[in-house]
Amino acid sequence: MPIQYYIILSLALFCIGIVGVLVRRNVIIVFMCVELMLNAVNLLLVAFSKMHHGIAVVNDKATTVGTDAQLFVFFIMVVAAAEVSVGLAIIVMMYRNTHSVDVNFLNRLKN
Amino acid sequence: MSATQIIFWFLSALALVSALMVLLSKNPVHSVLWLISVFFAISGHYILLNAQFLAIVNLIVYAGAIMVLFLFVIMLMNLNKDMEPQKNMWMKLAGAISGGCLLMILVSLVRQATEIGGKVAEMKTGNIGLIGNLGKVLFNEYVVPFEISSVLFLSAMVGAIVIGKKD
């Protein structure tokens, strides 16, 4: 597949995530849209790694170009898992204190 | 049109439609289920690109663990009914228009770029995504970041418990 198709697919997923962050008011949906944006970037990184590997493998059959990008995606997933656990704990704490998950209500950090 | 192309277009359409349904569905539980569908489509893309390790990790970590965590929190808060207060119409329209403008500008940039013209992401071939290769590189060159990420997990676990604890 040409790399443009993957770029445009990832851009579309990323912009859907941005629209979700801007439009929705439920803080959990906003958080899920952030996850969607992370996954769009991961897909693009994997596609680029396969593109570079495909270019390099013509000259050298045993090349490992592109392995770093896939490990980078792996570390992004690791950090995203840690981020989700802390973020959901914060959301649960705010819901317990204010009984609301509305971002327009939660935008004041004090009180 | 080969089978690979048919699977590519099917997975792309599934990912985009599911991502739109994440936004459009009123019930948060339905949003989570549509997001799981997006993750399955992206895992299918990874398999199509022969990145099998990342496909399995994506399924286990995202579709398995993180989405169950989201579902658990939504059930805990008893949010599975549509009571979300709506933003007013103009704010929604402004958000959609700004996101659409960003998408339009980025797509036009990609279409103009000459560096990526004719470049192809290889599919179904190449063995860099197999678990043997990735494991060798991970435990030789990237062993320090790997261990640091375990410290990150420990601190995230302690932080989540401390924040979530009822004081």
Contact A32, B38 (CB under 8 A): no
Lowest mean pLDDT, pick from A5-19, A24-38, A97-111:
A97-111
CA–CA dist B70, B63 (Å, integer):
10
Mean pLDDT computed over B30-51: 92
**Is A109 a member of any domain?**
no
Contact A25, A103 (CB under 8 A): yes
Given a cut of 90, whether residue B9 has pLDDT beyond it is yes
* Mean pLDDT value across chain B: 87
CB-based contact (8 Å) between A29 and chain B? yes
Contact B31, A32 (CB under 8 A): yes
To test the contact with chain B by mutation, choose from A18, A50, A58 the residue with the greatest count of B C-beta atoms within 10 A, namely A50
To test the contact with chain B by mutation, choose from A88, A93, A103 the residue with the greatest count of B C-beta atoms within 10 A, namely A88
Tokens standing for B56? 């399995």
DSSP code, position B60? I
With CB atoms and an 8 Å threshold, state whether A4 touches B116: yes
**Is A60 a member of any domain?**
yes
Tokens standing for B17? 């439609």
With CB atoms and an 8 Å threshold, state whether B120 touches A89: no
CA distance B125 to chain A (A): 9
Number of structural domains found in chain A = 1
Q: How many CB pairs under 8 A join A and B?
A: 235
The string over A43-67, giving b where at least 16 C-beta atoms fall within 10 Å of a residue's C-beta and e elsewhere, is bbbbbbbbbbbbebbeeeeebbbbb
ipTM of the complex: 0.90
Given a cut of 80, whether residue B118 has pLDDT beyond it is no
Mean pLDDT computed over B16-29: 90
> Which pLDDT score is estimated for A111?
55
pLDDT (tens digit per residue) in B123-161: 777 788 888 888 998 999 999 999 999 999 999 999 999
Note down the domain range covering A24: 3-98
> Which pLDDT score is estimated for A109?
66
> Which pLDDT score is estimated for B21?
92
**Is A92 a member of any domain?**
yes
**Is A110 a member of any domain?**
no
CB-based contact (8 Å) between A100 and chain B? no
CA–CA distance from B52 to each of A47, B73, B129 (Å)?
13, 30, 6
pLDDT (tens digit per residue) in B52-91: 999 999 999 988 889 999 998 888 887 766 566 666 788 8
> Which pLDDT score is estimated for B85?
63
To test the contact with chain B by mutation, choose from A25, A27, A29 the residue with the greatest count of B C-beta atoms within 10 A, namely A29
Mean pLDDT computed over A36-58: 90
Contact A2, B120 (CB under 8 A): yes
**Is A44 a member of any domain?**
yes
Tokens standing for B91? 């704010």
CB-based contact (8 Å) between A88 and chain B? yes
Q: What are phi and psi of A26, to 5 degrees?
A: -75, 125
CATH number at residue A8: 1.10.287.3510
**Is A89 a member of any domain?**
yes
* Mean pLDDT value across chain A: 87
Mean pLDDT computed over B33-54: 92
Confidence of residue B167 (pLDDT cuts 50, 70, 90): low
Q: Provide CB contacts within 8 A for A14, sequence distance 6+.
A: A37, A40, A41
Mean pLDDT computed over B111-115: 84
Helices marked H in chain B: 3-24, 28-48, 52-57, 67-77, 89-112, 131-140, 143-164
**Is A111 a member of any domain?**
no
